[in-house]
């Protein structure tokens, strides 16, 4: 009734201190109170931002517990992340893993876009017909539950190469004992970034020579197509970079998620498609 009274007087309720409201939570609330309805977030965005806040609070609580200061240990996550859903958290099952909705290739999302051929990693989400880059809060969410610290990803389109996804200290200097001694589990952003980075590695001359001549011609077409797609100012530089692993996907450049292979929970298969 208090909020209704403020609304009737065209005023917004003040920020409460008892209980306290975090800065991130207050930012979400204020965004929902935008006067212009077209600038307010939809429920999907609100849900994802709230889930990210809940997960970050869980991480902070876990870090506050005592931990060794000289060696890395796995970051504890005693409860499932909120994107799993359900009122009662399920206990982790050793031989199974739940994959983040943006990674789950068994039920791919139609509002999610990730072109693996672009020179920069830029996963996007469709919201009300517009494309937005996935927020940092979303990218920082756990990739799986139970948390994973190592994954091997294979792909039928490039059977000669597999991708190793694991903690990268160079990408997380703050984890090198300066803030936390914990090795963090893999996040959604870790997996998407490292898949993209691996696919954009240049192939060697030996690998090119070992490629079947018929396949080599198609790969070369994909390489030229990728260079042209980035615009005239970038074409020459991209051509000089040479053929990359992503060119072996040919026209299947759209990320469609990861699926289980049956070879253990640390082995997943990358699904790609020629359409978004």
Q: Is 61 exposed, middle or buried (0-12, 13-18, 19+ CB in 10 A)?
A: exposed
Q: What is the mean pLDDT of residues 24-30?
A: 79
Q: What is the pLDDT of residue 71?
A: 34
Higher pLDDT pick, 251 / 72: 251
Task: Give tens-digit pLDDT for 76-126.
Answer: 444 556 655 544 444 444 457 789 999 999 988 888 999 999 999 999 999
Over the stretch 138-194, which tens digit does the pLDDT of each residue have?
A: 998 999 888 888 999 999 999 989 999 987 666 554 444 444 456 788 999 999 999
The pTM of the full predicted model, rounded to 2 decimals, is: 0.65
Q: What is the mean pLDDT of residues 223-228?
A: 94
**How would residue 19 be classed by pLDDT, with cut points 50, 70 and 90?**
low
Helices within the chain (DSSP H only): 2-8, 23-32, 43-63, 136-139, 188-199, 205-210, 213-229, 232-241
Report residue 243's pLDDT band, with 50, 70 and 90 as the boundaries.
very high
pLDDT computed for residue 73 by the predictor:
39
Tell me what pLDDT residue 63 has.
47
Q: Which structure tokens are listed for 62?
A: 């876990």
Residue tagged 């209980």 (tokens): 19
On whether the CB atoms of residues 272 and 113 are closer than 8 A, the answer is no
What per-residue confidence (pLDDT) applies to 245? 97
* pLDDT tens for each residue of 28-70: 787 787 777 777 888 777 777 777 776 665 554 444 444 333 3
């Amino acid at each position: 009734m208090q909020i209704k009274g403020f609304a009737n007087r065209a005023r917004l309720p003040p920020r409460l201190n008892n209980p306290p409201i975090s800065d991130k939570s207050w930012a979400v609330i204020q965004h929902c109170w935008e006067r212009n309805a077209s600038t307010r977030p939809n429920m999907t965005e609100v849900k994802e931002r709230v889930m990210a806040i809940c997960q970050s609070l869980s991480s902070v609580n876990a870090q506050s517990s005592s931990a060794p200061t000289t060696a890395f240990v796995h970051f504890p996550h005693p409860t499932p992340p909120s994107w799993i859903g359900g009122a009662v958290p399920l206990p982790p099952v050793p031989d199974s893993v739940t994959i983040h909705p943006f990674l789950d290739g068994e039920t791919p999302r139609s509002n999610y876009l990730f072109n693996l051929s672009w020179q920069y990693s830029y996963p996007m989400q469709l919201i009300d017909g517009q494309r937005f880059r996935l927020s940092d809060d979303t990218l920082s969410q756990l990739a799986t539950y139970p948390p994973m610290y190592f994954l091997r990803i294979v792909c039928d389109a490039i059977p000669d190469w597999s991708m190793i996804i694991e903690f990268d200290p160079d990408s997380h200097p703050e984890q090198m004992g300066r803030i936390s001694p914990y090795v963090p589990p893999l996040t959604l952003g870790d997996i998407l970034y490292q898949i993209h980075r691996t696919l954009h590695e240049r192939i060697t001359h030996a690998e090119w020579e070992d490629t079947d001549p018929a396949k080599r011609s198609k790969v070369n077409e994909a390489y030229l197509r990728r260079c042209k797609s980035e615009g005239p100012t970038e074409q020459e530089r991209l051509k000089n970079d040479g053929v990359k692993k992503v060119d072996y996907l040919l026209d299947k450049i759209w990320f469609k998620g990861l699926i289980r292979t049956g070879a253990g929970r640390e082995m997943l298969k990358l699904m790609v498609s020629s359409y978004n």
